Structure 1
Amino acid sequence: MDQRLDEYLARQPRFDASGLTRLHVLDEPVGWLEPQIGRFLQAFSPSFVHNGPQLVVTSSIEEVESLFGRAALAMRAAGLIHGWRNEPYTCFALDASGAPDLNRPLFKLERGAFRRFGLTSRAVHVNGYAADRRLWTGRRSPNKAIDPNRLDNLAAGGIAAGEVPDVCVIRELWEEAGVPVELARRVCASTTSRSTRNEPDGIHDEVLYNYDLLLPGDFTPRNTDGEVAGFTLMDVDTVLGRLGEFTDDAGLVTATFLRRQGWA
């Protein structure tokens, strides 16, 4: 086992709930709010009610999606939300383990607002590798709202409302790395990870659906949506030495892959 891998995993950011308020929607604990966000929401609408350590939404299931949409727009206008994407995510109720219960969707909301409400999002990440144990890594565009210029997996992206991981991963492989559908269908689901941490723009809480894809030697990734600046094929030693340059989520996925494959 390579000590660099253990040291990197030990440095992974941790979630600290100190000073945060639990957000309850339709009697379900779904998010985390910083103090100033809780105050903003209470001033925005009487439907946000402070109840001890909780902020409770009193709206009905028919009203809650509209309420959150309007609140998010108000937060954007106030400069509290950046990187608006015009792409909805689904907020699900959480099961006993704290994971999204996909059978209990609660409401849809602009993905750029999820961190401010501390809601649990979902994403796919693909470890693209060659037969000689080298990994394809992408470098995020300098224009990305989150983690510009950081290293990333071959492909990664959020799961939109109404989308399932196995469909999302095919879409992301084409958009981010130009992987044709016939090749993308060879992708193998591997593990699921959870990445939760405090960020300047709220709480990042994301379930990561991890996939592996063995790429032929004559394939070179090419970005098609402008979100990736370029790709590099790295050997394991180089990846281990540069784990700190990856986004937190991609670094976790990559480290888990190396350990699972027995390469480090």
Structure 2
Amino acid sequence: MEDQIVGCIHNGFFDNYLRRFKDVFVFVPSDSRFGTNVTLNKTLSTPEERTRVVGNVIKCLAEEEKELIPGIRNELYPVAPSFGSPPYFSVERAAATYFGIKPHGMSCVANLIKECEEEAGIPLSLSNQAMSVGAVSYVHVDGYRYERGVLFCYDLELPGGFIPKNQDGEVESFKLIPVENVANVIRRTQFFKPNCSLVIMDFLFRHGYFFSIVSLVYFHTHLAVTHLTLKDKLIFLCHLYYYDPPRHGEKIITFISHFLPVIRQTIGAPTSLSLSSSSH
């Protein structure tokens, strides 16, 4: 839309379902690795008109094939190039992932306060102390659906005696787990959802629990952060050692040496490995 990429569409969904709606979608062949570009017909000049015609397409597809887009709820999802930008149009929430739309809804702070109260009974006097620390983005592909999530991360230290209590019935239970054990919970179980695991891994990385993260990055290949090749990961570890050998060096050497047979088989590494540090 207007030279901005606002979503991703699966080739199968494009070929089998959208191609016939030529009065709505314009298909432009491309030499890029992303394949065909899909945009809306330029005659659809207003957000309201675009919302209406795309909604008609989704309604038509849902009526023709009941299981194709389940969970239609008549709730609109804004389609915008970035947070805070005016939407180009809106799309049925249940269909947003079929168009690979990123969420651009309620402001982060407002949502944080709302969810703290609803999910854990955290009062405003505590939730307004949360510190914004960045964001984690990911893509989850499920059939024709591209879930492109952006998770805004906050750190909030609660008083030692605080006991969370769910207010909206959407949380089964709470568990207090020592931070040193959290990475192993992610690595060895499916206790947390994958997107929740990403937020926890971000926390562990930022707070210095890095080497629990190293094993996760190497061996949890289904997570979004593990798209690097083994060679790239090894190079990353070497850079980490170079810049901070007193803190990381011995553990990295031990880690790499333990898995040297796998590394050798994958990238042709030598049978022994030595790293030297620099003072700058």
Range of TM-score over shorter length: 0.5 to 0.7
- Deviation of the 1:260 alpha carbon: 0.5
Residue 216 of structure 1: aligned partner: 159
Residue 39 of structure 2: aligned partner: 56
1:10-36, CA deviations, whole angstroms, 9 ceiling, x for partnerless residues? xxxxxxxxxxxxxxx344321111233
Distance 1:26 1:70 in 2: 22
- Deviation of the 1:205 alpha carbon: 1.0
Change beyond 3 A, Cα 1:56–1:225: same
1:78-135, CA deviations, whole angstroms, 9 ceiling, x for partnerless residues? 2222344554332112xxxxxx25234222223322211111125xxxxxxxxxxxxx
1:121-167, CA deviations, whole angstroms, 9 ceiling, x for partnerless residues? 25xxxxxxxxxxxxxxxxxxxxxxxxxxxxxxxxxxxxx3xx21111
Residue 138 of structure 1: aligned partner: none
- Check the 8 A contact 1:80/1:201 in 2, yes or no: no
The one-letter code sitting in structure 1 at the alignment partner of 2:10 is: E
Change beyond 3 A, Cα 1:252–1:40: same
Residue 65 of structure 1: aligned partner: 51
The one-letter code sitting in structure 2 at the alignment partner of 1:66 is: R
Q: Determine helix, strand or coil for the equivalent of 2:5.
A: strand
Q: Which runs of 5+ in 1 are unaligned?
A: 1-24, 94-99, 123-159
- Deviation of the 1:257 alpha carbon: 0.4
- Give 1:37's match in structure 2, choosing from 7, 13, 17: 13
Distance 1:36 1:234 in 2: 43
Give the structure-1-normalised TM-score.
0.66
Bigger fraction of residues in strand: 1
Change beyond 3 A, Cα 1:177–1:112: farther
Distance 2:122 2:73 in 1: 24
Which protein has greater RCO, CA pairs closer than 8 Å, 6+ apart? Answer: 1
- Deviation of the 1:176 alpha carbon: 1.5
Distance 2:201 2:150 in 1: 16
Residue 79 of structure 2: aligned partner: 91
Distance 2:139 2:131 in 1: 24
- Deviation of the 1:201 alpha carbon: 4.9
1:10-159 aligned within 5 A:
25-38=1-14, 39-44=16-21, 46-52=23-29, 53-58=36-41, 59-62=44-47, 63-77=49-63, 78=65, 79-84=67-72, 86-93=74-81, 100=82, 102-122=84-104
Q: Does 1:263 align with 2:233?
A: no
Change beyond 3 A, Cα 1:104–1:83: same
Residue 235 of structure 1: aligned partner: 178
- Check the 8 A contact 2:6/2:101 in 1, yes or no: yes
Give the structure-2-normalised TM-score.
0.63
- Deviation of the 1:207 alpha carbon: 1.8
Distance 2:157 2:204 in 1: 14
Change beyond 3 A, Cα 1:82–1:227: farther
- Deviation of the 1:177 alpha carbon: 1.6
Distance 2:122 2:22 in 1: 46
Residue 264 of structure 2: aligned partner: none
Change beyond 3 A, Cα 1:222–1:45: farther
| % identical equivalent positions | 30
Distance 2:73 2:176 in 1: 30
The one-letter code sitting in structure 2 at the alignment partner of 1:67 is: V
Q: Does 1:180 align with 2:165?
A: no
- Deviation of the 1:40 alpha carbon: 1.2
The one-letter code sitting in structure 1 at the alignment partner of 2:68 is: L
Residue 250 of structure 1: aligned partner: 196
Q: Based on CA coordinates, which of the two structures has the bigger radius of gyration? A: 2
